[in-house]
Chains A and B, each alone.
Chain A
Amino acid sequence: MNNPFAGDNTRIQRRETAARWALRMGSYTVVFLTVSIFLFITFKGLPHATKPGFLTELTSTLHVIESKSGEIIQTGPAQADAMKQKLGDQFVSEKTISYSGGGILGPIVGTALLVLVSVSVALFLGVCCAIYLSEYAKKGKFLETVRLAILNLAGVPSVVFGLFGLGAFVLTAPVLTNAPADRAIFVIPLGFTNLSFQGWDTCVLSGGFTLAFVILPVIITASEQCLQAVPQGFRETSMALGATRWQTIWRSVLPFATPGILTSTILGIARAAGETAPIMFTAALAFKDKLPWQKDLPPLPADAGMFAHWEQSVQRFLGIFTESVQALPYHIYTLAAKIPQNEYSEQAQYGSVFVFLILVASLAATSIWLRIHLRKKYKW
C-alpha cells in the first residue's frame, strides 16, 4: 500500500545505492589486487619452484650453454666444463648468471635460523612484558613510559633497526674471548678469559636479536590482549582459594592465554621472516656455498683425541649462531636488484618469490584461521 504522504525518494535511494557501491568498490579493489598478486606469483613461480632440487640444493651460479643445434643447456658450475668438452666443436656460447642456479636451500635454512633466534628472544621478552602490563602493573609513571616506549618502538622504521643492530650487536655486544679486538670499547678481564665488548660480527645471532626487537611490539600487544581476554573471575577464584599472585598467573591465567599467545606468535614469525632491512647489515650474505653448520675447520692430526673431535663438532654446531647466512628476503633482493635481468634470472626470481610468499602466507593464514577457531572454542 502506498503511503500518500511519502515524497518522491527515488533520487535519495539512487544516491544511497551509488554511495554504497562506491564504498564497496574501495574494499573490493584491495581484495582483487591481493588475490591477483597471489595468483600471478603462483602462476609464474610454481613451475620453477617445483623443479627437482630447487628446495634442496644450495645456490650457485647458473651456466647457460648454447650448442650449434640450437639446444640450450642450463647447468651448474661443476658440470659446465664437462658439458663444454662433451659438446666439443658443437659449443657456441656460454653465459653465466650469478646466484640464479641451483636451489634455495641456503636461504631457507638461513631464514629459519633467524626466525628461530628472533622468535625465542621476542617471545620470552614479550610475554614477560605482557604479564607485567596485564597482571602486575599499577597506573603510574613507569607504566605510562613503558606503553609510550612500545608505541614508539612499533613506529621505528625497519632500516633504523638495522642501523641499531649494526651498532649494538655487530660492533658492540660482549663476547668471551682470549684476544680482544682493537675495536672493543672496553674489556673486562675475568681471569681465565676476557669479556670484550667487540660485537658479534655479522651472524645469525646479531640478525636474530635485531629482528627480535622489530617484532617485540607486535608480540607484546598481542600477548597482552590474550591475557586480558581471560575473565577476571578466574583470577578472583584462584586468589580466593589462597593462591599467591604468581600461582594464580601460572595456574589460572597463562594456560588459558597460551593458545592465543602462540597464535599471535605465528604472525610475529611471518613478520620476522619477511623483514629485509634489519638483516641487511647484521646477518645476511648475498652468496654462500655452505650451510651454516658446515664450517671449514683445520683438519685434525691423525692422533687427535676424542676431545678435539668433539670440540670441532661443537664448533661446527655453533656455526648456526655464529655464521652469516643467506636469507630468503635478501636473496630475492639480490636477484631483483644486483644482477642483470633476463629470462634465466627470472626463473630463480619467480621461484624464490613463490616459495617465500607461500611460506609467509601459510604462516599468516594459519594464524588467522587459528584465531577464529580459538575465538569460537574459548567463549566465556
Chain B
Amino acid sequence: MPPASPTTPGPFGSKLLRKSSRSMLGMDPQKIIKTFFGANSGITIVVLVLIMVFLLREGAGFLSTYHHELEVYRKAGLEFCDIADTPLKQQQQLTSALRRAKASAASDEAKRALGDAEEAFETAIEPADEIVSELKTHATETKELANEFHTLEVGRLQLLAAAYSTSDPTRKADLLKEAELSKVDAPNYEERIAAVIDRREELAKALTDYTTVLGTAAVALPDAVADVKTAVPAHIAEVHAAVKKLETWSWQEPVSFFTAARSFFFGTGWITNSSWQDFYGVVPLLTGSLLISLVALLIATPISVSAAIYTNQFASDQEKEIIKPVIEFIQAIPSVVLGFIGIAVVGDLIKGVSQWEILSWIPGFPIQERLNIFNAGFLLAFMAVPTMFSLAEDALNNVPRAYSEASDALGATKLQTVFRVIVPAAISGILAAILLGLGRVIGETMVVLLVAGNRIAIPDFGDGLGVIFQPAHTLTGIIAQELGEVSRGSSHWQALFMVGILLFVISLSVNWCARTIAKRFEHPKA
C-alpha cells in the first residue's frame, strides 16, 4: 500500500482537507469568523459615536433657536421691561419686609410709623409700576406677533421645500400657491417698539422721582427696621443704574450667537413654561450637581479608602469574607430604592437631628427642608462607596510585595509600612478611584431627582456651610423631570439635550482625568 502523499490524499484525508480549505465568497472561513467578532467589538465604538450623533442631532439646533428667541426678546422690548422690572421687584421685597416688621411691631405707635412708611414706599413707585405694566402688555403682544410670524414662516419654508423636491408639476404649482398664500409680513418691530421708546423719558423720570421720595422716606424710618434702612441706599443706586441702562438701551443692537451661548453656559436662571420669557441658564443646575457631588465625595472618600486599606492590609480572612460581598452587594441596590429611603427615612432623620439643641452651632441648623443637598450627597456617597472601594483595593493590591517586605525588613511597624510605603505607592490608583467615584456621582439621576429637593435656584452661599442644607436641582434631575413633558423640537427640548451633551462631556473628561492619573504614576510590575 503506497503511503498517502500530501498531494494525493486518501479518500478520508481528502474529505478532511477539503473541509478545512473550503472558502466562502473567496474568503477563508476563519477570517470571516474573526471579522465577525471584530465587527461586534467595533459596535462599542459605534455606540459611543451614535450617542454623540443623536445628542447633537436633537440638541444642536438649540443655539440658533435660543438666539432667535433672545432676538425677539430684545426687539419686542421685553428686555427693556425686564431692566425696569428689576428695581421694582426689589422695591416689593423692601415693602414686604416693612409689612412683616409692622406685623411684629410691639407698640401701636411703631405700627403706625411703619404703616406710613410702607404707604409712602407704595405710592412712590406707583407711576413707574403703571408704566412698566402697560409696556409689558405691549411687549407681550409684539412677541406673540413675532411668534405667529415665525410659525407661519417655518410652515411656508416647508411648503417651498416640498414644492422644489416634488416632480409633479401640478402639485408643485399647488404647493407654491399655498406657500404664496401663507406669506405674511414680518411684524414691524420699529413701529411697535416706538410705543415703548416714546415712554422711556417718562419712565426714567418716574423712577428718578421715586428715588427722591424714597430717600426722604428712608431717613424717617424707625431704627427697628435697620435692615431696610441700610438696604435703601443700595436700592437707590440700583434704580439709578437701571435708569442709565434704560437710556442707553437700543432694540437694534444685534444679539450675537456668543450672547446665546453665554446665556446658556453662564445664565443664572432656568425659567421654563413662563408666559413672559423662557431662559435656559445651566448655572443653577451645575452648582447643584457640583455641590451634591462634593458632599458625596467628602463623605465617601474617607470611608471607602479606609475600608479598602483595612480590608487589604489588616482584615482577617473571615472579616474579608463579610466586608467584600456586602460592599459588592451595595452596587446591586437600585438607585431608586436609595432615593426612596432618602425620602422616607433619611430626610426626617436629618431634620429631627437638626432640631437638637446641642447641635445648633452647626451652620444651617435647624434645617427647613428635609430634601436637600446634604441628604442627596449622603445617599450618593453610599452609592459611590463600592466603586471607590473596589478600585482603591485593586490599587493597593497592585503594590509590589517587595515594597512592603523591604519596609518590614527595616523594622517599620505595620502602620508605618501601610501609610508611608503602601498607600503612597498606590496613591495614583486611589486618586483614580476617587475620580471614577465622582464620575458615578455626577451622572446619578434617580437619587438626586427624588431627594435633592428640586428647587431651581442657585443655593444661597450667604450662610456659609449651611448651604448644603438647602434644596437644589441638578443637571441629571432636570432632564429626567422635564423631558417627558415637552414637545419634540421645541427650544426647551433642545435645551434639555444640550444639558445631556454637557453631562456627556463632563463624564468623559472625568474619565479621562482618572485614566491619565492612573497611567502617570504607574509603578513597574514586580
Contact = CB atoms under 8 A, between A and B. Distances in A.
Same complex for A and B? Answer yes
Contact of A16 (B34, B38, B413, B445): B413
Nearest to A9: B413
Interface residues of B, number: 87
B317 to A, nearest CB: 13
Contacts of B304: 26, 30
Nearest to A145: B45
Which range holds the interface residue count of chain A?
35 or more
A41 B55 CA distance: 38
Interface string B258-292: 00000000000000000000000000000000000
A135 B38 CA distance: 11
A125 B40 contact: yes
B450 interface: yes
B43 A129 contact: yes
A245 B444 contact: no
- For the residues of A in contact with B, the DSSP-based class is helix
Contacts of A16: 413-415
Nearest to A16: B415
Interface stretch (B89-97, B195-203, B461-469, B505-513): B505-513
Contact of B445 (A156, A158, A361): A158
A76 interface: no
A81 B375 CA distance: 43
A156 B507 contact: yes
Interface in A123-141: 125, 128-129, 131-133, 135-137
B480 A277 contact: yes
Interface in A335-358: 336-337, 341, 346, 349, 353, 356-357
A152 interface: yes
B445 A157 contact: yes
A30 B55 contact: no
A271 interface: yes
A164 B54 contact: yes
A207 B490 CA distance: 24
Interface stretch (B2-10, B205-213, B245-253, B330-338): B330-338
Contacts of A220: 44
A31 B345 contact: no
Most buried by A among B37, B307, B480, B488: B37
A356 B415 CA distance: 43
Interface stretch (A17-25, A67-75, A294-302): A17-25
Nearest to A271: B332
Interface stretch (A32-40, A83-91, A257-265): A32-40
A157 B507 contact: yes
A357 B307 CA distance: 25
Interface stretch (B101-109, B120-128, B145-153, B321-329): B321-329
A280 interface: yes
Contact of A244 (B30, B50, B444): B30
Contacts of B344: 336, 346, 349
B41 to A, nearest CB: 4
A151 interface: yes
Contacts of B42: 142, 146
B434 to A, nearest CB: 14
B484 A280 contact: yes
Nearest to A220: B44
Contacts of B234: none
Interface stretch (A49-57, A98-106, A167-175, A228-236): A167-175
Contact of B47 (A142, A213, A349): A213
Contact of B450 (A275, A333, A360, A363): A333
Contacts of B34: 132, 136, 245
Among A164, A217, A281, chain B packs the most CB atoms within 10 A around the CB of A164
B334 A273 contact: yes
B308 to A, nearest CB: 9
7 contacts: A30-B304, A30-B389, A37-B333, A158-B444, A160-B503, A162-B479, A276-B334
Given A156-B48, A337-B343, 11 more contacts: A26-B307, A30-B385, A41-B341, A132-B38, A137-B38, A146-B45, A162-B480, A267-B332, A274-B334, A277-B446, A329-B336
Smallest CB-CB A-B distances: 9 pairs: A157-B443, A274-B334, A26-B306, A167-B54, A364-B332, A128-B40, A132-B37, A23-B310, A129-B41
